[in-house]
Amino acid sequence: MEAGESELKKELDATLHARRELGEEYESALVDSFLEKVEQRLDSVVDRRVRRRLAEQQTAAARGARAPGSGDSWGERFGFGVISLILAIPLSSIGAAQAGMSGLFVSWAGIVGINTVQALRSRPHLGKRREKSSDWEE
């Protein structure tokens, strides 16, 4: 058992013991306190994993290699498109309700802009002009 897990087990035991002693009046406060400790533990684990992942990516970038997992797959692009369409529904209704057609236009311009940036980020060659291969091309 990991040290953090044993600490949480001790905290849970202490919380249950305190509940028995204090009664049901303090149950919600005790549960909230325990859940806050669990949340802090989870945050520290996630922070540690994020820092490790960033360090791996920075190391890979320093070596000139692509960061692990940075390949832009079709599934990632499809997922981004689906999520942007799902979010477009409430954004459109909010924009239209607040400012009418101009609000709807602004919300869709933002959605199109975000998707354009995503497309250019995942495929940088889309935003570049093709260079002439000879003097005969205009």
pLDDT reported for residue 136: 47
The pLDDT value given to residue 130: 57
Supply the pLDDT for residue 67. 47
- Environment class of residue 8 by beta-carbon count within 10 Å: exposed (0-12), middle (13-18) or buried (19+)? middle
- HEC string of 15-63? HHHHHHHHCHHHHHHHHHHHHHHHHHHHHHHHHHHHHHHHHHHHHHHHC
Cα–Cα distances (Å) from 38 to 6, 26, 88, 101, 132, in that order, read 12, 18, 35, 47, 61
Q: What is the pLDDT of residue 61?
A: 83
pLDDT of residue 81: 84
Q: With a cut of 50, which residues of the chain have pLDDT below it?
A: 67-68, 134-138
CA–CA separation, 50 and 58 (whole Å): 12
